[in-house]
């Protein structure tokens, strides 16, 4: 799991990459718990983190209104979104359903 800049994320989307993106805020308690859950994910799909306060324009573009938010992106297109805390099992299931 790697924190990624807005520029790098836009480039990956334009390159039609498949990924899971965690939109978070440093002050958000549930975001910290979700981050721990994401470390338990056993997947070859890259997981990136974006601090919503570092790039408000990107957060607006990606329609982030609450955190934590997960965007499942397949070949550059958002195919699923979750809001709020999820378990690693729920996230794994969503990866299989959305990104495989």
Active site residues: 28, 31
> How many CA atoms does the CB half-sphere of 91 hold within 13 Å?
27
Exposed / middle / buried, residue 45 (Cβ in 10 Å: 0-12, 13-18, 19+): middle
Cα–Cα separations (whole angstroms), residue 59 to 13, 41, 43, 50: 14, 24, 25, 9
At 55, is the secondary structure helix, strand, or coil?
A: coil
């Amino acid at each position: 799991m790697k924190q990624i800049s807005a520029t790098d994320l836009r480039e990956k989307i334009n390159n039609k990459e498949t990924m899971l993106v965690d939109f978070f805020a440093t002050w958000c308690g549930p975001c910290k718990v979700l981050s721990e859950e994401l470390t338990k994910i056993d997947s070859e799909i890259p997981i990136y983190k974006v601090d919503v306060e570092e790039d408000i324009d990107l957060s607006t573009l990606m329609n982030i209104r609450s955190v934590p938010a997960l965007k499942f992106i397949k070949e550059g297109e958002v195919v699923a979104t979750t809001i709020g805390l999820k378990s690693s099992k729920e996230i794994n299931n969503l990866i299989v359903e959305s990104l495989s």
